[in-house]
Structure 1
Amino acid sequence: MIHVKKRTITLNCDMGESFGHWSMGNDELVMPWVDMANIACGFHASDPHVMSRTIDFAIQHDVQIGAHPGYPDLQGFGRRSMSFTEEEICEILIYQIGALKALCESKNTDVSYVKPHGALYNDMMANEDVFRAVADAVSCFNIPLMILASGNNQRYLDIADNYDVPLLFEAFADRTYLANGQLTPRSMPNAVLTSEDTILSQIKQIAEYGRVSTSDGVIIPIEADTICVHGDNDAAIELIAKIRAQLDA
């Protein structure tokens, strides 16, 4: 008989990504179903009012608040790589995390972790120089850094240890994986899962067995602390509710 180890895995979601009169996401409806809110910090999306309102939603539902900083790229929604020195990346992150932290403190709460956004997240996972710059910035706030769970977690743990930064490892509910443990690039076919059954099956694999089936049929280990979900539409919110029920069960 195979004994399955049940894992306590949280749900995190990217939020606060509206800007001015432009609205994105369903933060108020998603918030009751998740444990961690990754709040955009103004460079790839959001503005002070949106950040403040999203903090209020998180407080209302006792959800951890995370900073979700990205490249300064409102037009590209932070999904385009940009060339910066390590010092500049560090400064860009400190600026954004500091802004969210100040808003949180004005409401008697605080930032609990950092999760980079989009291209910065991908660059961090592919380039050790970028990862070091991110870890350096996060070390100023004495909070964990969220990164992609992969088969090479130890490499990132070793670097983060040099900056005394704890790591949180995340998996994705609706993204496919390559055999090397990285996410399938959005430019490739089948990068995003759309079938509810397939998404729920992948989450069960991750939560109960600590593994995932890649897009080319290889099974790889994924030791995740948290799973990222997206709440861009009404159907997505219904799916998040089912994911929450599956994890709680």
Structure 2
Amino acid sequence: MHCVDLNCDMGEGFGVYRTSLDSELMKYITSANIACGFHAGDAATIRHTVKLALAHGVAIGAHPGLPDLAGFGRRAMDITPEEAYELTVYQLGAVYAFAKSEGGAVAHVKPHGALYNMAAKSRPLADAIAEAVYKVEPSLLLFGLAGSELIRAGDAIGLQTISEVFADRSYESDGSLTPRGTEGAIIADPARAAEQAIKMIRDGEVRTRQQSSFILKADSVCVHGDTPGALAHAIRLRAELEAEGIAVKKAGR
């Protein structure tokens, strides 16, 4: 029987700007990746989102990003592995403390945006992030793009890694995500997104933008909270997975 985790990036507001869909999306997912304050989020938002996750029985994850509020962490920055290590530890610490203070615990770490994509291709950055997670708590799960350097780095240091796939994004022939801004990068149709996710889970492959097939492992499926129609995506995906007999449950041991 196939099973999969369903995750979503959350808590990506700050100050008076709230991500209003979080409370609804929580009903359909099993893991929440909570922004840690660098690309989005702040103390109040982290705490609020942690409490939402606990109320819905959803796994809490830290979602560290590059220090770029204006660019939402989606613009690449020239950082060193040491800087990647430090910003990961710093941001993980914020969510870790709020989870503990509310009677919960952090289950996983998933880098955000440009940091995620940079670590997918750069082994030095991937090693630094994996080391940061391992040194804070070696039992934490490390989420990374399926087939990426981040997954290999996590495996090498002894972390349990979770190979992540995307329902609402198209893929390139090398297994990377199509860059945002490229035509077809975002899959807006919930039915098509669900179809792609099910194929990745059941068949272990995805059809790329170049019309080739890329073999991958699918432990967790991401639906972006800021994708147009995100709630419709989550509802359709959860229903389609269950209709196909694919169990939806939290990632990990």
Determine if the TM-score, normalized by the shorter chain, exceeds 0.5. yes
Give the C-alpha shift of residue 207 in structure 1: 2.0
Q: How does 1:85-234 map to 2 (within 5 A)?
A: 85-140=80-135, 141-142=137-138, 143-150=140-147, 156-232=150-226
Q: Please name the residue that 2:63 is paired with.
A: 68
Q: Please name the residue that 2:12 is paired with.
A: 17
Matched residue SS, 1:65: strand
Give the C-alpha shift of residue 83 in structure 1: 2.0
Name the CA distance, whole Å, in 1 between partners of 2:190 and 2:22. 21
| Counterpart residue identity of residue 244, structure 1 | R
Q: Please name the residue that 1:3 is paired with.
A: none
| Counterpart residue identity of residue 223, structure 1 | K
Distance 1:132 1:193, change over 3 A: same
Give the C-alpha shift of residue 87 in structure 1: 1.4
Q: TM-score, normalised by structure 1?
A: 0.92
Name the CA distance, whole Å, in 1 between partners of 2:228 and 2:84. 35
Q: Please name the residue that 1:7 is paired with.
A: 2
Which deviates more, 181-190 or 170-179? 181-190
| Counterpart residue identity of residue 28, structure 2 | W
**Structure 1 contact 26–233 (Cα < 8 Å) conserved:** no
For structure 2, list consecutive stretches of 5 or more residues without a partner in the other structure.
244-253
Q: Which whole-Å deviations, capped at 9, do the CAs of 1:22-50 have from their partners, x for residues lacking one?
A: 22351001001000000000011000100
Aligned length: 241
| Counterpart residue identity of residue 216, structure 2 | I
For structure 1, list consecutive stretches of 5 or more residues without a partner in the other structure.
1-5
Distance 1:161 1:69, change over 3 A: same
Name the CA distance, whole Å, in 1 between partners of 2:82 and 2:144. 20
Q: Please name the residue that 2:251 is paired with.
A: none
Name the CA distance, whole Å, in 1 between partners of 2:210 and 2:57. 39
Give the C-alpha shift of residue 195 in structure 1: 2.0
Give the C-alpha shift of residue 223 in structure 1: 1.0
**Structure 1 contact 13–38 (Cα < 8 Å) conserved:** yes
Identical amino acids, percent of aligned pairs: 40
Distance 1:72 1:157, change over 3 A: closer
Which deviates more, 210-219 or 29-38? 210-219
| Counterpart residue identity of residue 103, structure 2 | N
1:44 to 31, 39, 43: 39
Give the C-alpha shift of residue 159 in structure 1: 2.9
Q: TM-score, normalised by structure 2?
A: 0.90
Give the C-alpha shift of residue 231 in structure 1: 3.3
